[in-house]
Structure 1
Amino acid sequence: MTSRRHEPGEYVLAVDSGGSGLRVALGTVDGDAPLATAAAAEPVRTGPAGIDAAHLLELLLPAARHLLAGRGDATVVAAALGAAGMATLGDQLRAELPAALAAALGVRRLALAADAVTAYAGAVGQRPGAVVAAGTGLIALGTDLTQWRRADGWGHLLGDSGGGAWIGRAGLDAAMRAHDGRRGGSAALLSRLEAVFGPAQELPGLLYPRTDRPAVLASFAPEVAACAAHDPVAGAILRDAAEHIAEAAAAVCPAAGLDGAEYEVALTGGLFRMGDPLLVPLREKLAQRLPHARAVPGSGDPLTGALRIAQALATGGLRLPHHPTLLCVPVPSPVSAPEKGHDQG
């Protein structure tokens, strides 16, 4: 794809769809920051057919039209949408969104990405490297700019090792062991369990009926971090988490080349706000496993990454590798006239 000159009135649209809602940003083709943002607090529904394309459009289109209002004959030359679950649940989005966004907003080029890809673009940009996105769950993604490599992100029952739910569950397990008098228990974590949830024996009745069990488990992870400095069991849990995170990063980071290039491993997501109790052992593990890489804090969030992808798509400068489910760029189709209403709030 060759680069093209952009004209006044040309804009790009970025979308980040996650568990807490949907965010939209409008930017220029070459601007560093969005011109304006909008949000819908309601998350996009997921059903038997995967992520619900009609519901996503129901949330996205009013927000996009609001951002375009008052901008005259605005043209959306490119859009990028990152969504949690895109890789495994995005078939309906890939089938329906290109034509729908072309018809409704006149979108000329569209990229559909997994949220791990937009997190990568926000944190690393379009350079070889890796990103570990960790919050309640955990996924690692890396590229040498020829292909993507993914590790974990399989959910709290099958993986997400080292993530918030994993740490919280390990902490609660140690607390319950102390309650029972079993090996590996932690009196400090038992005390925190009782302070947060009430009597230990009542925890199963509180936890198991919840549909948001991963979030409930992850809510205990900060308690583990708070105990780590004085409780050896809590400290060991965070060291184990650091080992899992480093393993995931090593699985996806490009191998050291003959030129000795140093790659960045960006750490992004709420888990890393734990600070030193997790970051100190994690830096040690990363240095052991990836001596050719440098751990850095993520410089941008997934919405920033979606904006960068849309800008690169608009100028013909997208260097991140295409992938059928991780980063899909459908072949442009003839653009229908967009629906009226861009100038309506």
Structure 2
Amino acid sequence: MLVFDAGKTGCRMGLWVDGDRVGHGEAPGASGIADPGGVDQALSRMAQATDASGSSHPCPGRPVDTVVAGLAGLLSAAEHAPLLRAGLAARYPGAEVIVTSDAITSHAGALSGQAGVVLAAGTGVSVLAVTADGTYSLVDGWGYLLGDAGSGYAIGRAGLDEALRQADGRGGSPVLLDRTVARWGDPRRVPRTVHASENPARVVASFARDVFAAARSGDDASQKICDEAARELALSVAAAVRIAHLDPPVQLATTGGLLNAGPVLTDPLDRHLDQMLPGISRRPADGDALSGGYLIAADPDLPHRRMLSCGHDEGDVR
């Protein structure tokens, strides 16, 4: 079985043989399924991730029987699922192809297929709550132009705003301006760097690391950015729990690289969560999106099965 986790920051592939994870490959992320050429780019990235594992055919002498792909943005762009399935089916003839959102595979992996809520926070942000009977609610995941509140992109964008305001003499943060110059040189070059990139959201999100470092050093503007991002993340979690009618105690797992920032972000996040959802328990994920994709394919009884688009089932990826 091949499982893909195709996000905006990176695309990963995992290979399972007889229930054991035996292979891994990585490629750059895709800009977005709904973007012009987004489906072709996602298929290309998944092919690159497979090739990076060391072979264009991941298991020589043995056909691939199942392909699972979790893709960023698919819950909001379900109409692209048939094209994605067709592209993967052409590359792996005879395989059952299951296509869904990376929010769903992340949820299944993070909570080992159980009910609860998962905050997926990286370049973008989505919060998915799933009940035991398969009812679900998705909050945010709108993409960097329309949403992704509290995301790496949002933090990086707010940090760059502070830096460029300082460069213009409109206030802002001298610390973040210094970090912008150290990263990219003349601030006037930043727009060209961002807009010329194949993945502008990822370039902007990369500046979140500088915001975190500045916040740790005591920069007031950066600390405020982190607190506001944490509040937005907590608001999204609270909304997902409310809409799905999850009964307490609610399990909350977090995935994605954003919370690796540590206490500068997690401390205000926990404070806001406690205010909005007293008693909620935040914990690290049990597994990743790749393991979640494997669980979904291997266990037809998981509540996540109703949120799939595949060759043999009439799933729902809306």
Q: Same fold (TM over 0.5)?
A: yes
> Secondary structure in 1 aligned to 2:175?
helix
Aligned partners of 2:27 and 2:46 also within 8 Å: no
Partner amino acid, structure 2, of 1:68:
C
Partner amino acid, structure 2, of 1:26:
W
Residue 283 and residue 43 in structure 1: after superposition, are their counterparts in 2 closer, same or farther (change >3 A)?
closer
Residue 58 and residue 205 in structure 1: after superposition, are their counterparts in 2 closer, same or farther (change >3 A)?
closer
Matched residue, 2:256: 269
> Secondary structure in 1 aligned to 2:304?
coil
Offset at residue 241 of structure 1 (A): 0.2
TM-score computed with the length of structure 1 as normaliser: 0.76
Q: Higher relative contact order at CA 8 Å, sep ≥6: structure 1 or structure 2?
A: 1
More helix by share: 2
Residue 200 and residue 118 in structure 1: after superposition, are their counterparts in 2 closer, same or farther (change >3 A)?
same
2:179 is equivalent to residue 187 of structure 1: no
**Unaligned ranges ≥5, structure 1:** 1-11, 334-345
Matched residue, 2:197: 210
Offset at residue 105 of structure 1 (A): 4.8
Residue 59 and residue 179 in structure 1: after superposition, are their counterparts in 2 closer, same or farther (change >3 A)?
closer
Partner amino acid, structure 1, of 2:82:
R
CA distance in 2, matches of 1:223, 1:99: 38
2:301 is equivalent to residue 317 of structure 1: yes
Partner amino acid, structure 1, of 2:306:
H
Matched residue, 1:80: 68
> Secondary structure in 2 aligned to 1:68?
coil
Matched residue, 1:17: 6
189-198 vs 53-62, greater mean Cα deviation = 53-62
**Unaligned ranges ≥5, structure 2:** none
> Secondary structure in 1 aligned to 2:99?
strand
Which of 277, 281, 298 in structure 1 is aligned with 2:285? 298
Matched residue, 1:341: none
Aligned length: 304
Residue 265 and residue 27 in structure 1: after superposition, are their counterparts in 2 closer, same or farther (change >3 A)?
farther
TM-score computed with the length of structure 2 as normaliser: 0.81
2:225 is equivalent to residue 241 of structure 1: no
CA radius of gyration, larger in: 1
Offset at residue 131 of structure 1 (A): 1.0
Offset at residue 49 of structure 1 (A): 7.1
Partner amino acid, structure 2, of 1:16:
D
Residue 186 and residue 104 in structure 1: after superposition, are their counterparts in 2 closer, same or farther (change >3 A)?
closer
Offset at residue 227 of structure 1 (A): 1.3
Aligned partners of 1:98 and 1:330 also within 8 Å: no
Matched residue, 2:129: 142
Aligned partners of 2:30 and 2:199 also within 8 Å: no
CA distance in 1, matches of 2:149, 2:2: 34
Percent sequence identity is 32
Offset at residue 224 of structure 1 (A): 0.9
Partner amino acid, structure 1, of 2:164:
M
111-120 vs 187-196, greater mean Cα deviation = 187-196
Offset at residue 117 of structure 1 (A): 0.7
2:282 is equivalent to residue 282 of structure 1: no
> Secondary structure in 1 aligned to 2:203?
helix
2:309 is equivalent to residue 328 of structure 1: yes
Matched residue, 2:23: 37
Q: Structure 1, residues 252-289: CA drift from partner, whole Å, max 9, x if none? A: 124453xxx42221111111111110011001111111
Residue 304 and residue 106 in structure 1: after superposition, are their counterparts in 2 closer, same or farther (change >3 A)?
same
